[in-house]
Amino acid sequence: DLALAPALAPKQRRGASGAVHAGAAAVSAAADDLACVAFGLAHVVTIMFHAIQAAGGGVVEGSDSLRPLWLNPSMHIFNSAVAWVELLACGRRSFSGRARVGCCLVAVGYTSFIVVCRQMNGRFPYPFLNNMPMPSGFIGIVCVSVSVLVVFFEIGRLIHRVASRDVTFTHSSNVVTSMSKAK
């Protein structure tokens, strides 16, 4: 990714006076990176929740929890739908190296958080983890989660690459050709 280093620098914007607003560019780049990280994370939450629910008969969060009816769908279904709408409707996302690092930091941070929760409370925040063999079960869940995160980050990156090209149809041969946009 060293060849991408110039592309990873925040773009500078000029105001009406011609002055460069690097702060606005930095905020814009941070928002882009956050959206790219959220795209992958939304799918980890949705896929892992439903896979574990299907495999374990509803053991992800325990059955003794009382929650509003809207909470489960908003956390485990709508988040992925919103991530796709944001990706497709709100402009192109970069899926930059910074966003990839952000994904790694969030994965390490959340994994550390749930391990600390276990150490402090004597149990994981997700009951299904308490029933798994340690450390192999926990490591397996982390590996699957990180794999889902990487796959969906790369899907987003692929969509960005495709969306960054002009696609034209050649009428004489009905062949689709693609040319990179002039920068």
Output the average pLDDT for the chain.
Answer: 78
What is the rounded distance in angstroms from the CA atom of residue 160 to the CA atom of residue 34?
A: 15
pTM summary value: 0.71
Confidence check: pLDDT of 16 > 70: no
Check: CB of residue 128 under 8 Å from CB of residue 56. yes
Confidence of residue 88 (pLDDT cuts 50, 70, 90): confident
Confidence check: pLDDT of 18 > 80: no
What is the rounded average pLDDT of the residues 152-166?
85
Confidence of residue 142 (pLDDT cuts 50, 70, 90): very high
Residue 177 DSSP code: E
Per-residue pLDDT at 2: 37
What is the rounded distance in angstroms from the CA atom of residue 144 to the CA atom of residue 39?
A: 17
Q: What DSSP string runs through 27-40? A: HHHHHHHHHHHHHH
What is the rounded average pLDDT of the residues 126-142?
89
Number of domains present in the structure of the chain: 1
- Which domain does 142 fall in, by range? 2-180
- Pairwise pLDDT comparison (26 vs 163), residue with the higher score: 26
Residue 135 DSSP code: T
Residue with tokens 């009951």: 127
